[in-house]
Amino acid sequence: MEIAPGIRRLGNGLVNVYLLEEAGSVTIVDAGLSGYYTHELPAELAAMGRTLADVKAVVLTHAHSDHIGFAERIRRERQVPIRVHEADAALARGEVKATRDPAGMKASSIRPALLGFLLYGLPRGGMRVPPILEVATYGDGATLDVPGSPRVVLVPGHTAGMAALVVASKDAVFVGDAFATRDVITGATGPRLAPFGADLGQAFDSLSRLDGIEADLALPGHGQPWTGGLAEALARVRSLGRPGRAKAA
């Protein structure tokens, strides 16, 4: 699916992977589900007039399993380097396990929307995610030497190394799971914190690191593209209140 000139998305909006093209070369932002490698990835590359040979890098916004899906395979088979924030490198390599904020994991979490999310992921390898044996790391504030030249903004909370990637040439920011436009547990839509984060309060507070960034297009890991500007998206997330605190009147 074309999102904007030079940006395409894999998936139906539940688990997103983005292709960022510049001068005929491609950066993959996040690696989604492992099953995408066989069908969705070749099809979207072909729609761009590109092939796997044009993929120069995979940049992960963070290292949760639904964002690293085919990363090890494309690294092993195509020697494509995988980049992740230094604080998530151990998680990407499978040396540590992801943690979850108990505030986001309640008995009421078992809902039809979550079951739909799981049923979408299972046949696409959602439960078979190999660790990435070799990763290159980046730090906060870096401008990466990959197609699109994304600038890194660390927004910890969802994971320690959750990073947004600002691509000024496309007027876009890939927000990963700093916020979502679809809650995969409840099915609610619109900008909101993504569930399954390590520290939801920290994730909320870290949104301040995105203030002042001008981008019309915000591209989340889960949900549809937000075209109303990053500032408005952040305002809508904040309007829902900080997790663990009562919403202000």
Q: What is the pLDDT of residues 103-128, one digit of tens each?
A: 766 544 556 777 777 777 777 876 67
Answer positive or negative: Cα dihedral of 6, 80, 152, 198. positive
Q: What is the pLDDT of residues 139-151, one digit of tens each?
A: 999 999 999 999 9
Average the pLDDT over 13-23 and give the result.
96
Q: Which residues contact 202 (CB under 8 A, 6 or more apart)?
A: 156, 157
pLDDT at 37: 96
214 against 113, higher pLDDT: 214
> How far, in Å, CA of 138 to CA of 18, rounded?
19
Reply yes or no on whether the pLDDT at 78 is more than 70: yes
pLDDT at 246: 39
pLDDT at 249: 37
pLDDT at 128: 78
Alpha helices in the chain (DSSP H): 40-47, 65-68, 71-78, 89-92, 112-121, 200-206, 230-239
Domains assigned to the chain: 2-95+103-239 (3.60.15.10)
How many helices (H) and strands (E) the chain has is answered by: 7, 13
pLDDT at 185: 87
Give, as one character, the DSSP assignment of residue 150: P
**How many Å from the N-terminal Cα to the C-terminal Cα in the chain?**
40
Mean pLDDT for the chain?
93
Inter-residue contact 30 to 200 (CB < 8 Å): no
| 3-state secondary structure at position 165 | strand
Q: What is the pLDDT of residues 179-188, one digit of tens each?
A: 999 999 889 9
pLDDT at 136: 98
Reply yes or no on whether the pLDDT at 191 is more than 80: yes
Longest dimension (CA), the chain: 55
pLDDT at 247: 44
pLDDT at 105: 60
> How far, in Å, CA of 196 to CA of 173, rounded?
21
Q: What is the pLDDT of residues 195-206, one digit of tens each?
A: 999 999 999 999
